[in-house]
A and B are shown apart, each in its own frame.
Chain A
Amino acid sequence: MNAPHHREWDTLRQSRARRLERAASLGLVGKNGREIPVDRIIDLLEAVIQPGDRVCLEGNNQKQADFLSESLADCDPARIHHLSMVQSVLALPSHVDLFERGLANRLDFSFSGPQGARLAKLVQEQRIEIGAIHTYLELFGRYFLDLTPNVALIAAQAADAEGNLYLGPNTEDTPAIVEATAFKGGIVIAQVNERLEKLPRVDVPADWVDFTVLAPKPNYIEPLFTRDPAQITEVQVLMAMMAIKGIYAEYGVTRLNHGIGFDTAAIELLLPTYAADLGLKGKICTHWALNPHPTLIPAIESGFVESVHCFGSEVGMDAYISARSDVFFTGADGSMRSNRAFSQTAGLYACDMFIGSTLQMDMAGNSSTATLGRITGFGGAPNMGSDPHGRRHASPAWLKAGREAYGPNAIRGRKLVVQTVETFREHMAPVFVEELDAWKLQKTMGADLPPIMIYGDDVSHIVTEEGIANLLLCRTPEEREQAIRGVAGFTPVGMARDKAMVENLRDRGIVRRAEDLGIDPRMATRDLLAARSVKDLVRWSGGLYAPPSRFRNW
């Protein structure tokens, strides 16, 4: 009888041990809190990373492990190559340098806004293989299945003598990344802004961390979620009024997420004024899965908001957040702990509404921010903007939407997924189109599917300057198409509407104009905004909000 083929069951542990030995042989032992001298970082990376590794580099929406990213890009491509990068956001130039310099050749990610054009070029030149574009929660999920990192390069605010880490308000994706890596034999390397005797709190225990390095300067944080109220237009105010009266009030939306943009910033700034005048305080917008938008400050101060759980923090908001611990999730130390994975989960299952904007929409309601020449991904929108079939708990908004979609005997509810968009973008580019650029992009990317951000099936309402289309009430694809054309304004798609059908849809309340909602468009002025400038936001916060310098003239 043959003995069963011998298989080793701890190869990951062995590999980890060998990597750490290689580092130790160079004198890189990570003593004293796992600390590595800053001038030895390249030696460390070249010792513990192997060709073909899957590496997670912490490029979050806000926080960036920039020192580690630049150091990795400076490693020798003869020693480190064919890396598969897994990361939330391709934010920094050094993230793309990794591919241009031949260290990495494969990428799985979620969002690449700032590097979208360079990424498209790399794809065209066939110097990168994109595994897939994901939504954040999806990517985190795969860290625990088939995209587990061998090495994680993360950013923390501080380390103590043992190597415990404090992540601070920008906790973001780190907990998910570290857990997946540390518990499958991976190596965790953290750049830190400072060393402390005692951490305000422990966000990552030292057991899970292999090496720390004190970065030459504090890690970069992108102020992605700050919108200057001075940029909000009258048309955006009009659309915000329609959304508040025609959707938030109609369905009694208390639990929600806003996709970032000036359209939703306008809604946030209309809560203390327009929404309060409609008697909606306490009836809408009480619980949020949301980054700490400065434009939410007036609504918080006015008593609209009970709770906000954040994906990450926002530059300048830390002191305000700490002073509003009833609203934000803060530790016993007083500072916020954010968590993208859990916020995304809350947004998926616990929110009754998502509302956000887009760049293009077709006649089925599919929308995409993908445009030719740029590969940008979607971030959290596909998750937030999807109707979760796993949901079981009821709420009035969910039940009402469910009845609209499935009739009076509906067995389930529906999440409100609202797209709010002006019919034309800059340079008179129409938002509403017969075919999304996403199809052309699919071909140039060689992807399995067109990069669609939110599927038409999930969309419940569309808000434009022309009115609101309620897709839940549409019973056929033709009705849905005409409802969309009926709010597509003077775009070619809108002008091709069947006028009689649209009038019929209007009679049935499927398409509603501002007048139908009792809104006089002439009331839509910037005077309605609770804050009209960044300075106003600072005043609303009692001086606690400290905007970054690009938003200040003082």
Chain B
Amino acid sequence: MSLSLTNRHCWFEATARARINGLLDTGSFSEILPPAASQPSPHLAQLDLPGAFDDGVIVGYGQLEKKPIFVIAQEGQFMGGAVGEIHGAKIVGLLRRAAREKPAAVLFLIDSGGVRLHEANAGLIAISEIMRAVLDARAAGVPVIALVGGSCGAFGGMGIVAKLCSAILISEEGRLALSGPEVIETVAGVEEFDAKDRALVWRVTGGKHRYLMGDCAMLVDDDIAAFRTGTTAFLADWREPAPSAALLRARQQVLENRLAAYGTLRDGLQVWAALGVAQPESVPMLDRDSLVALKEGLPT
């Protein structure tokens, strides 16, 4: 190993702003409602907490390989990336503008545990509005691509939002699920799910597992440049399909089949074995390229 390791800028640790800077063409990004023009959350102020100028999400537009792109980037280090009223309104506004202006894509950098509980109903409503806005943008022909790889993953309402996007690009550090591990343990007990067993959490919600299961279109290295090349490559081949009941029914059938096949399994290892992986225990240690090759070799 060598200093090429130190030249990587990992996605996992980077702030939302650093991710945008590395993802888009240099200097092309313009922020809508920048911190100086935005407002911190009035709900947090009422609870005697300092907010963030951008309420934990950055929205704007720029270019990716010269193509016009809209961007939403959640800041996972602020309140767990959770969605509050202003945070949600910025996202919804950006998506509605995308539906009108039809950029080449919206890149949705998700890094969130879901609803910001401090803001209660305002947070819940915000998430449902985001869901509506994602579907409307897609219906207008604009791909909405989720990029997941931060410390908060995509959980709760934002996990649902991720699955409503056209596709998800994920790194092995990323996670995608609905209920958080601690919540499952609290509600169902540690025998059901040991939230402190981090290897288990990643076998069940982590990027490699989601990629092998087909929930994510692409697995990329935990590296901002890798997300950039992955996104560029993905968009080059992607055509946003028109909304179609037939497509939805087909997808529902796939999910029903999946539930029937794997519904009783309790660990990623068992699922991978069922998928036809010869040595499931080796998956967590495989590098990205080896895992992609492995998946391509699996029976369909």
A interface residue numbers (CB < 8 A to B): 230, 272-273, 298, 301-302, 526-527, 529-533, 536, 539-543, 549-550, 552-554
Contacts and interface: CB of A to CB of B under 8 A. Distances in A.
B202 A554 contact: yes
Contacts of B12: 533
B6 A552 contact: no
B170 to A, nearest CB: 14
Nearest to B284: A554
B3 A230 contact: no
Given A230-B13, A527-B9, A532-B13, A553 B198 contact: yes
Interface residues of B, number: 18
Nearest to A527: B9
Interface in B1-59: 1, 3, 5-6, 9-10, 12-13
B1 A553 contact: no
B199 interface: yes
A298 B1 CA distance: 9
Contact of A552 (B5, B173, B198): B198
B198 A272 contact: no
Contacts of A301: 1
B27 to A, nearest CB: 20
B206 A530 contact: no
Nearest to B10: A532
Contact of B1 (A533, A540, A552): A540
Contacts of A298: 1
B202 A539 contact: no
Contacts, number: 46
Contacts of B1: 298, 301, 539-542
B285 interface: yes
Given A532-B13, A554-B284, A554-B285, A540 B5 contact: yes
Contacts of A541: 1
16 contacts: A273-B3, A302-B3, A527-B6, A531-B5, A531-B6, A532-B10, A533-B10, A540-B1, A540-B5, A542-B1, A543-B285, A550-B198, A553-B198, A553-B201, A553-B202, A554-B285
B237 interface: no
Nearest to B196: A550
Q: Which 8 A-B pairs have the closest CB atoms?
A: A554-B284, A553-B198, A540-B1, A553-B202, A539-B1, A530-B6, A273-B6, A554-B199
A549 B199 CA distance: 8
A302 B197 CA distance: 33
A13 B284 CA distance: 58
Given A526-B13, A527-B9, A532-B10, A553 B206 contact: yes
A302 B4 CA distance: 12
B5 A536 contact: yes
A554 B197 CA distance: 10
B63 to A, nearest CB: 25
B3 A530 contact: yes
A537 B172 CA distance: 16
B293 to A, nearest CB: 18
